Amino acid sequence: MPVFYGEHIESRLMLGTAQYPSPAILAEAFRQSGAGIATVSVRREAGQDTAGQDFWALVRELDVVLLPNTAHCHSVREAVTTAQMARELFDTNWIKLEVIGHADTLQPDPFGLVEAAAQLVEDGFDVFPYCTEDLVLCERLVEVGCRVLMPWGAPIGTGLGLNNPYGLRSLRAHFPEIPLVVDAGLGLPSQAAHAMELGYDAVLLNTAVAKAGDPVAMAKGFARAVEAGALAAEADPMDPRDMAAPSTPVFGKAFL
């Protein structure tokens, strides 16, 4: 099971908490998924707002590790300020860092991301950066103190799966000791299994479960797919080959 900043997590599946049809469905989806971490946006908690306090009570009842995020932040200053608010609100140094650079694709701003990560690490945060699979960017994030990397599979909410398996595989090979999480773009359990087969430590998703016709059933599907993919990676799978190879031995075959 994954270890993030020294903390052992009991599940390789991480779920977001937005867009569910109802609080009851959100809670049941989490229970059935066995997810070990819930991401939550600070924007859901607004001072004395009653709805925000009700949501916070629900999240606490999930009995999972909380990972606040800086969702929808588009500048370094906004992301750092939001992270500081999250630490006070949720009493944790963990922060999923988002610094969005492109409004249509929600692609991270690589320059702002590194700058914000450096400031937050200096301030004592354990940073989970939402990034692309760019190797140079990931090296810079590790250099400034990030001990987890969270490259996207595809743009947030698209359900396209793993757009660049080569890049994700290269990251895994380049950072064998760094926990890696595929974050965003997954739409089907098979795509989550693929990420785990590449050797990733966990997957994080939200829309694929929350917006499914049956979020609870989809949460179960992702839980089983993640487990299957992890088992496959641990089993040292066969390498693909161009030529067919019979699985039944030809030795002893009768030739007429």
CA distance 141 to 129: 8
Domains of the chain: 3-235 (3.20.20.70)
Nearest to 228 by CA among 201, 190, 200: 190
- pLDDT band, residue 250 (cuts 50/70/90): low
Model confidence pLDDT, tens digit, residues 41-61: 886 455 455 555 677 778 878
Answer yes or no: is 185 a known binding residue.
yes
CA-based R_g, the chain, Å: 20
Amino acid at 215: P
Q: How confident is the model at residue 254 (pLDDT cuts 50, 70, 90)?
A: low
Q: Which residues make Cβ contacts (< 8 Å) with residue 210, sequence separation at least 6? A: 16, 18, 19, 20, 21, 26, 29
Tens of pLDDT, residues 113-144? 999 999 999 999 999 999 999 999 999 999 99
What are the angstrom distances between the C-alpha of 243 and each of 239, 240, 246? 12, 9, 10
* Residue 93 or 250, more confident: 93
Side-chain-side CA neighbours of 162 within 13 Å: the count stands at 23
pLDDT on residue 154: 96
Tell whether 17 is in a known binding site.
Answer: no
- 99 close to 85: Cβ distance less than 8 angstroms: no
Q: Which residue is catalytic, options 96, 211, 220, 253?
A: 96
Cα separation, 15 vs 5, whole angstroms: 19
Q: What percent of the chain has pLDDT over 90?
A: 79
| Whether 96 is catalytic | yes
**In the predicted model, what is the mean pLDDT of the chain?**
91
The reply, when asked if residue 207 is annotated as ligand binding, is yes
Q: Is 86 annotated as belonging to a binding site?
A: no
The structure's pTM equals 0.90
Is 248 annotated in a binding site? The answer is no
